[in-house]
Amino acid sequence: MPEQLFFALEVILNGLMAGVLYALVALGFVLIYKASGIFNYSQGVMALFAAATLVGIMDGQVPFSHLINAIFGTNVHHFGWHIPALLGILLTMGVMVFLAWAVNRFVFKHLVNQEPIILFMATIGLAYFLEGLSDLMWGGQLKTLDVGLPQGMNATLDEVTFNLFGYGFFIDNLDIVASIVALILVVTLTLYSQYSKQGRALRAVADDHQAALSVGISLNFIWILVWSIAGFVALVAGIMWGAKSGVQFSLSLMALKALPVLMLGGFTSIPGAIVGGLIIGVGEKLFEFTLGGMMGGATENWFAYVLALIFLVFRPQGLFGEKIIERV
C-alpha cells in the first residue's frame, strides 16, 4: 500500500512542477493585463518567437535566409559561428525589447482609449503576425534548444528517497530548475511592482490613464516597459518549454493552458498566476492518476478547462482577483 501512496506523492510533485511551467506563461498574461488592461492573446506566440530567436542566434542562423536566398538567388544559411547561451539570451532579450517598442509604436499607440475587445482583437492579429514572422525568420522546422540546463531524472533525489522509503522518486532536473527560476521571477516581479517607482507608475497607468498623465507619467514609456517585461517572461517560458519539448509551433499552444490558470488565479494577481498554475498542474495529474483510467484516459486535455468553468460559475474573479464591486 505505501508503494501506491508514494506513487501518488510522486504524481503530486510532478504536477507541481508542470504547474510551475503553466504559471510562467500565465505570469506574462497577468503582467500586461494589470498594466494596460489588454488581454494579450499573443503571449504564447511570443514565447515561441523568443525561443526560436534564441536557437537561431545561438546557432548563427541567418535571419530571413529563405527569403534572402529566394530574392537574390544566394545560398546563405549560417554565419558559421556558435554563440554561448548566456550571450544568446541577452541578445534575444534585446530583440524582445525591440519587439516591445515596435508593438507599441505600430499597433497600440494608435489604439489608445479603444474598447478592450478591440485591443484583444489586435493581440490576436499580433499572434498570427508573430507566428509568421518566426517561421520566416528562423524556419518552421522543429528545433532543439540546448542552453545547458540539466535534464533527465535527478539521480540524487532518486537515490536518497529510495534509501529512506524504499521508493525512488522520479523528478526531472529541468522541472526543478524551472521551479526555482519561476520562484525568483515571481518574487522579483512582485517586489518590483509593489515597491519601485516604475512599479507604482505601472499600477497607476493600469488604473487610470488621465490621472497617470497628470502626475507626469509617460504612457509610452510604461507600455514599452510592460511589453518588454512580458517579452522577458515569454523568453523564460520559451526556454523552459523549448528545452523540455523542443521549439515548434505547439509551443504557442501551451498559452491556451494558461487561460484556465488565469481563471483560477485571477487575471490581476501575480501570486494568483502561480497558485493557479500549481492547482491546475497537480489537479490534472491527480485526476488522471485516480479517475483517468475509468474515463478512458487523456483527461489532462480537458480537466483544466472544466475546472476553470466551475470557477467561473462560483467565483468569477478567481482566487486572488480583485473583487468586482459595483457602486450604485
Partner 1 sequence: MNQMSTEGYTTADGRQIGGVLMEMKNITLRFGGVKAITDISFDIREGEIRAIIGPNGAGKSSMLNVISGFYVPQEGEVWFRGAKRPPMKPYQVAQQGIARTFQNIALFEGMSVLDNVMTGRLTHMKTGMVAQAIWKGAAEKEEVENREVVEKIIDFLEIQAIRKTPVARLPYGLKKRVELARALAAEPKLLLLDEPMAGMNVEEKEDMSRFILDVNDEFGTTIALIEHDMGVVMDLSDRVVVMDYGKKIGDGTPDEVRNNQAVIDAYLGVAHD
- Which residues, at least 6 apart from 34, have a Cβ–Cβ distance to it below 8 Å? 193, 202, 203, 206, 268, 270
Least separation in angstroms between residue 226's CB and partner 1 is 13
Subset of residues 123 to 182 that bind partner 1, contact rule: CB under 8 A: none
State yes or no: residue 101 binds partner 1 (CB under 8 A): no
State yes or no: residue 324 binds partner 1 (CB under 8 A): no
Q: How far apart are CA 43 and CA 234, in angstroms?
A: 7
State yes or no: residue 97 binds partner 1 (CB under 8 A): no
Indicate the angle between helix axes 43-59 and 219-245, nearest 10 degrees. Answer: 70
State yes or no: residue 113 binds partner 1 (CB under 8 A): no
Among 75, 156, 163, 210, binds partner 1 (CB under 8 A): 210
User: Which segments of the chain does DSSP mark as H helices, in order?
Assistant: 2-36, 43-59, 65-72, 85-106, 116-138, 155-165, 173-195, 197-207, 209-214, 219-245, 250-265, 270-290, 303-314
Which x/- pattern, by CB under 8 A, does the window 173-202 give for partner 1?
A: ---------------x--xx--xxxxxxx-
Q: How far apart are CA 21 and CA 80, in angstroms?
A: 33
The torsion angles phi and psi of 54, rounded to 5 degrees, stand at -60, -45
Q: How far apart are CA 174 and CA 130, in angstroms?
A: 27
State yes or no: residue 203 binds partner 1 (CB under 8 A): yes
Whether the CB-CB separation of 43 and 258 falls below 8 Å is answered with yes
Whether the CB-CB separation of 237 and 25 falls below 8 Å is answered with yes
State yes or no: residue 66 binds partner 1 (CB under 8 A): no
Among 117, 214, 296, 326, binds partner 1 (CB under 8 A): 214
Least separation in angstroms between residue 211's CB and partner 1 is 4
Least separation in angstroms between residue 157's CB and partner 1 is 33
Q: Which is nearer to partner 1, 205 or 243 (CB)?
A: 205
**Helix (H/G/I), strand (E/B), else coil: 30:** helix
Q: Which is nearer to partner 1, 196 or 301 (CB)?
A: 196
Could you give the angle at the alpha carbon of 85 between the alpha carbons of 80 and 90, nearest 5°? Answer: 100
Least separation in angstroms between residue 144's CB and partner 1 is 33
State yes or no: residue 110 binds partner 1 (CB under 8 A): no
Subset of residues 293 to 322 that bind partner 1, contact rule: CB under 8 A: 322
Q: Which is nearer to partner 1, 41 or 227 (CB)?
A: 227
Bridge partners of 153, per DSSP, are: 172
| Site residues, partner 1 (CB under 8 A) | 188, 191-192, 195-201, 203-204, 206-208, 210-219, 225, 322, 325
